[in-house]
Amino acid sequence: MTQGWQGREPQPWARAAAWGVLACALPSAVWRLLMIAGWMPGTEPLRVLHEGEGGYVLGLSIAQLFAAVLVVGLVRPWGERFAGIRINRWVPVVLGTLGGTVMTWLFTVGLWLGIMAGRRPDQGALDGGPMWVMVAAYLPMNFFGPLTIIAVIGYARRRAARPSTTTAAGSRLSA
């Protein structure tokens, strides 16, 4: 048993989903920061389109990564306590479900509905290789919302279950 879980270790599938959220968030956040800093070749037209929005882009990337780290907290011992106080399980369940639903709408549903309607996220500023690099960086975001919801389900199930202990004979007892 892992130290700190008191008999309620996260399920492997919930752990994979939570860490998957962080893996989904990193490429687009890094791409966005490199683009706005001028270090992403071929993105000058998009950078000009967003001139003066460096603070917004930085804030968006930080918020995105912070949200992903909070999802990882659903499968880590530090995610169950804040300042030494046990977090009521409904706070992460409600906020995680809302966040996962919003991200699913934005990137898994809304983005693709917009593309099918002829709207491009880059407003037509990119083409060729730079556009495909952007697509590759943002494609994992399609899974951010669904993976968040999966991690929340694991968290809710684990936190709702009563901790159990194993006796010397190997049978499980509810604590």
Q: Tens digits of per-residue pLDDT, 43-89?
A: 999 999 999 999 999 999 999 999 999 999 999 999 988 888 999 99
Asked if residue 4 is part of any domain, the answer here is no
Q: pTM of the predicted model, to two decimals?
A: 0.88
Instruction: Give the tens place of pLDDT for each residue, 78-108.
Output: 998 888 899 999 999 999 999 999 999 999 9
Asked if residue 81 is part of any domain, the answer here is yes
Asked if residue 89 is part of any domain, the answer here is yes
Q: Which of 11, 19, 15 is nearest to 160 (CA)?
A: 11
Asked whether 67 and 25 are in contact (CB, 8 A), the reply is: yes
Half-sphere exposure of 105 (CA within 13 A, CB side): 5
Asked if residue 21 is part of any domain, the answer here is yes
Asked if residue 127 is part of any domain, the answer here is yes
Asked if residue 173 is part of any domain, the answer here is no
Asked whether 169 and 46 are in contact (CB, 8 A), the reply is: no
More confident residue, 164 or 91: 91
Q: What average pLDDT does this structure show over 119-148?
A: 96
- Write out the E strands in the chain: 81-82, 85-86, 164-166, 172-174
More confident residue, 8 or 7: 8
Domain carrying residue 119: 12-159
Asked if residue 7 is part of any domain, the answer here is no
* Number of domains the chain is built from: 1
At residue 83, the pLDDT reads 87
Give yes or no for residue 7 having a pLDDT over 80. no
For residue 143, give both structure tokens.
């899974």
Asked if residue 3 is part of any domain, the answer here is no
Instruction: Transcribe 102-123 into DSSP letters.
Output: HHIIIIIIIHHHHHHTT--TTT
Least confident of 78-82, 156-160, 161-165, 171-175: 171-175
